[in-house]
Amino acid sequence: MYDTVVIPFTTLYFNIDYYKRMTGVDPKLGAEVLFVFMKDDTPYNALTDESFASIGVQGEVLDEGQSGFVSIKTRDRMNIKNATVTDHRISIEATERPDIEDLSDDEYKEHVNTIKNALLNSLQYFEGGNIYRSWIVRLRTIEEVIATSAGWMDIEPEMKYEFVKTDSKKERIALYEKVIYENLEMYRVTSEAKNAQEDENQKVYREQAIKKQIDFLQKELDELHPENVSETRKLELKLQDSKMNEEARTEATKAISRMKQEGQNSPEYGQLFNYVDFLTDLPWEKSDSSIDLKNAKEILDQEHYGLKKVKKRILQQIAVMSLNKKQSGSILLFVGAPGTGKTSIGQSIAHALGREYVRVALGGVRDEADIRGHRRTYIGAMPGRIMDAIHKSHASNPVMVLDEVDKLSQSYNGDPASALLEVLDPEQNFSFTDHYMNVPYDLSDVFFICTANSLDTIPEPLLNRMEVIQFNGYTPIEKLQIAKRHLLPKAIKTMGLDDHLTIDDETLSTIINDYTMEAGVRGLKKRIDTLCREAAINIVEGNGDITISKDQLREYLDMHPISHEHVHEIKQPGIVTGLAWTQAGGDILFIETALTKGSGKIIITGQLGDVMKESAQIALSIVKSKFPNLSDVFKDHDLHIHVPAGATPKDGPSAGITLTTALASLITGHPVSPEFAMTGEVSLRETIMPIGGLNEKLMAAQRAGVKTVFIPNENKDDLDDVADEIKDKLTIIPVSHVDEVLEKTGIKKEAR
């Protein structure tokens, strides 16, 4: 036998074929069988005396196998020695191994009864264990007890062999008692754990069954009396249908439980209701929206005239989103003058993408809680503007326009611009946590668009998270097309004029040129709305259809034409035309200089800011170094620098070359043609540095009658953004040094 130990006084059953194969003979009643234990599975041809255990067990055949099985009753232990293998037959010398009788009859019986009682008590831990009860009761010897129980107890072969080789009955009983008590304790612990687990499972199943019954009965009651459904029950039903994440569901469930415990009379009940109602109303599930790039392009072209670069960048982002099947790319920041279409193009993007549109006004926001929400520990706590906009849009992926981000302000309540950092960071906003909600919400699918009039007041960390797209001012031709295609038809439809009002292109052009002064079209829209209201009065009074000509604008608009700056016709030393950028677009300004008898003081008037004052000092130093033979003039005279429209503050880094040219013209007495205009800052090295707002400045120059414009050489590439109609009417000269301007205006030559 290998890996199996036969214990004395055990009845064994073998398949008759197996018996024949192992012994080589047919079973015969009374035949003796010797069970020898092999130490390992060594092949027969390699067996030696050391391959066998030193003790075996002798048995006797009790049944010749008429039923197909041979029964063998094991008896005495045998000493095994001198094993040999010849022709696949094993010869073994076996002698009887008697037990050591070291127990009295009374001790022996006491041990037998103790073990039998332990076995009888253990039957409760076995399924069907009672079938062994009658067997155990009939046992008389310790060998019978061991033989009977070893078959159904978990005893390793090594331990069984210990029973076989132990000669002392006292030691054998002690060994067996140890094994049986270990097994019985293990069975007891296992049975108790199993019963405890079954009890626990039964409680869980019972609880689930009761809850299902309650839900079923509650549903029946709700259907019978829908008017009596409680608020908490309504919230529970909404919570079941909601697709919120597990963290949010846990918070909502806890809040509903507190509502039930505290009742409707609790002062906290209303706050908890609003909280759960807000959570369950939020759109938690991802929204699928197919993207048609061709259709998006058509919508953008249809709803907005011009803005070619802006539309191109938007279409690039839409194309990337179409490929990735999700929101991706930079957060867009539209920067430009008022009325250039920054906010309205957000509506067109939403229309092109088939998404909801929502606008969040940030102008004047100075509390961090307006962005992140108030904590629910405060009375009147509310969610922040971001989550409130998501709630109102009923979509997890709207196009959200954050309007006027440059007009955020700080206070003791925190910095709202810093709170926007997480909102606008694609690496963080997938788990944005509003203080009111106190659970994460995924904003990664939201198409964020920010708008601003200027970059100066936007904090650098916030600006780094966005891609700046400049909205340049519209040319008069573009404004005319916008008025014809969008503003006028919309105003006529809004005011119910149908086809009763006619305004020709010449009249619209006059409104653009003489009654507005802006980069955008907001003022133009106001003028058109005014004309429509006047037309409405005429129609209601029964005067029929109305056609408005340019000569009637003064009467209908009830305002004087706006006086734009125009170039002077008379040349005068010390006066040069400059170009300026304002939030309303571009404009020209005149730098005026004069010398009066005095002590060399410098007088600067015209509400100039610090930058322009410094530019004036640099310009004076350059002129003194350029014309050393004339520099003594400044010692005996006071220099007065003035920029007209003194009530209007002026500042910016683009008047340096204009101031330098004006001072050079003054000191040399050479007048500069009014048809020359220039823009650019200068350094003490006399280089001309780049400026911004070139498009608006060139439009202002063309409108004012300027013929030639000097611009910094580094701004040449910006001419690609300037409309051809503007460039065709101007002579634009890029310059990089002060000498170039002085040469082309004739000042340098005259000084020589």
Whether the per-residue pLDDT at 567 is higher than 60: the answer is: yes
Cα–Cα distance, 202 to 397 (Å, whole number): 45
Residue 337 annotated as lining a ligand binding site? yes
pLDDT confidence band for 682 (50 / 70 / 90): very high
How far, in Å, CA of 153 to CA of 176, rounded? 12
Is 398 within a domain?
Answer: yes
Residue 340, annotated as binding a ligand: yes
pLDDT score of 397 more than 60: yes
| Res 124 pLDDT > 50 | yes
pLDDT above 90 (res 712): yes
End of a domain among 529, 557, 585?
557
> What is the reported pLDDT for 264?
78
Q: Say if 379 falls within a structural domain.
A: yes
pTM of this prediction?
Answer: 0.62
What is the reported pLDDT for 357?
A: 92
The answer to whether 338 is a known ligand-binding residue is: yes
- Respond yes or no: is residue 697 known to be catalytic: yes
**Residue 342 belongs to a domain with what CATH number?**
3.40.50.300
Which CB contacts under 8 angstroms, 24+ apart, belong to 109-112? 111/142, 111/173, 111/177, 112/139, 112/140, 112/141, 112/142, 112/145
How many domains does the chain contain in total?
5
| 175 occurs within a structural domain | no
Q: Is 354 inside a domain boundary?
A: yes
In this structure, the answer to whether residues 42 and 85 fall within a common structural domain is yes
**pLDDT confidence bin for 751, thresholds 50/70/90:** very low
Question: How many angstroms separate the CA atoms of 461 and 405, rounded?
Answer: 13
Stronger pLDDT, 180 or 37, i.e. the higher one: 37
Is residue 731 a part of any domain in this protein? yes
- What integer pLDDT is reported at residue 662 of this predicted model? 92
CATH number for the domain that contains residue 481:
1.10.8.60
- The whole domain housing 247 covers 230-281
At 229, the pLDDT band (50, 70, 90 cuts) reads low
Residue 345 sits in the same domain as residue 383: yes
Q: List, as one string, the DSSP characters of 133-188.
A: HHHHHH--SHHHHHHHHHTTS---HHHHHHHHH--BHHHHHHHHHHHHHHHHHHHH
Q: Does the structure show a pLDDT above 90 at 43? A: no
The reply to whether 669 sits in an annotated binding site is no
Residue 399: CB atoms within 10 Å? 23
DSSP 77-132: EEEEEEEEEETTEEEEEEEE-PPB--S-HHHHHHHHHHHHHHHHHHGGGSTTGGGG
Quickly state the pLDDT bin for 752 (edges 50, 70, 90): very low
Specify the 3-state DSSP secondary structure of 375.
coil
Verify that 272 and 309 share a domain, yes or no: no
For residue 218, count CB atoms less than 10 angstroms from its CB and return exposed for 0-12, middle for 13-18, buried for 19 or more.
Answer: middle
* Bridge partner list, 519: none
Looking at residue 91, what is its pLDDT?
85
User: Is the residue at 177 inside a domain?
Assistant: no
Say if residue 343 carries a ligand binding annotation: yes
**Do residue 322 and residue 446 come from a single domain?**
yes
Q: How does pLDDT run across 513-559, given as a tens digit for each residue?
A: 888 877 788 888 999 999 888 888 888 887 778 888 888 888 888 88
Residues 514 and 415 grouped into a single domain: no
Q: How far apart are CA 562 and CA 585, in angstroms?
A: 15
Active-site residue, selected from the candidate residues 149, 393, 396, 654 = 654
Paired sense of beta strands 676-678 and 637-642, if any:
unpaired
Which one is predicted more confidently, 44 or 510? Answer: 510
What is the DSSP-derived secondary structure letter of residue 672? P
3-state secondary structure of 583: coil
Looking at the structure, tell me whether residues 481 and 590 fall in a common domain. Answer: no
Q: Is 201 exposed, middle or buried (0-12, 13-18, 19+ CB in 10 A)?
A: exposed
Same domain? For 513 and 636 the reply is no
Length of the chain: 752
Same domain, 333 and 274: no
Residue 452, beta-bridge partner list: 335
Give how far the C-alpha of residue 496 lies from the chain's centroid of Cα atoms, to the nearest Å: 46
Question: Tokens 């919400």 label which residue?
Answer: 441
Angle at 471 between CA 466 and CA 472, to 5 degrees: 145
- Determine which one of 525, 626, 697, 748 is catalytic: 697
Q: Please name the amino acid found at residue 594.
A: A
Residues 6+ apart with CB under 8 A from 235: 252, 256, 259, 273, 276, 277, 280
Per residue in 303-324, pLDDT tens? 888 888 888 888 888 888 878 7
- Looking at residue 129, its pLDDT comes to 63
| Average pLDDT over every residue of 343-362 | 89
pLDDT of residue 368: 85
CB atoms inside a 10 Å sphere around CB 501: 22
Rounded CA Rg of the chain: 51
User: Is 341 labeled as ligand-binding?
Assistant: yes
Is residue 750 pLDDT above 60, yes or no? no
Give the model confidence (pLDDT) of 201-226 as tens digits. Answer: 888 888 888 878 877 776 776 666 66
From 469, 498, 532, the end of a domain falls on 469
Same structural domain, 381 and 243: no
pLDDT in tens, 604-633: 888 888 888 898 899 999 998 888 888 788
> Which are the contacts of 206, defined by CB distance < 8 A and separation ≥ 6?
none
CB 373 within 8 A of CB 279: no
650 within 8 A of 607, measured Cβ to Cβ: yes
pLDDT score, position 119: 78
Closest CA to 338 of 477, 480, 450, 453: 453
The verdict on 448 and 517 lying in the same domain is no
Neighbours of 617 (CB within 10 A): 12
Final residue in a domain of this structure, among 44, 77, 96: 96
Q: In terms of pLDDT, which residue wins out, 706 or 141? A: 706
**By three-state DSSP, how is residue 24 classified?**
coil
**In a domain? residue 298:** yes
User: Cα–Cα distance between 269 and 83 in angstroms, integer?
Assistant: 91
Residue-averaged pLDDT of the chain: 84
Domain assignment of residue 203, yes or no: no
Strand partners for 38: 2, 52
Same domain flag for 498 and 402: no
Q: Cβ–Cβ contacts within 10 Å for residue 480, how many?
A: 20
Q: Does residue 653 have a known ligand-binding role?
A: no
What is the pLDDT averaged over residues 351-369?
Answer: 88
* CA separation for the pair 747, 586 (Å, rounded): 27
Count of H-run helices and E-run strands, the chain:
28, 23
Please indicate, yes or no, whether residues 307 and 455 belong to a single structural domain of this protein.
yes
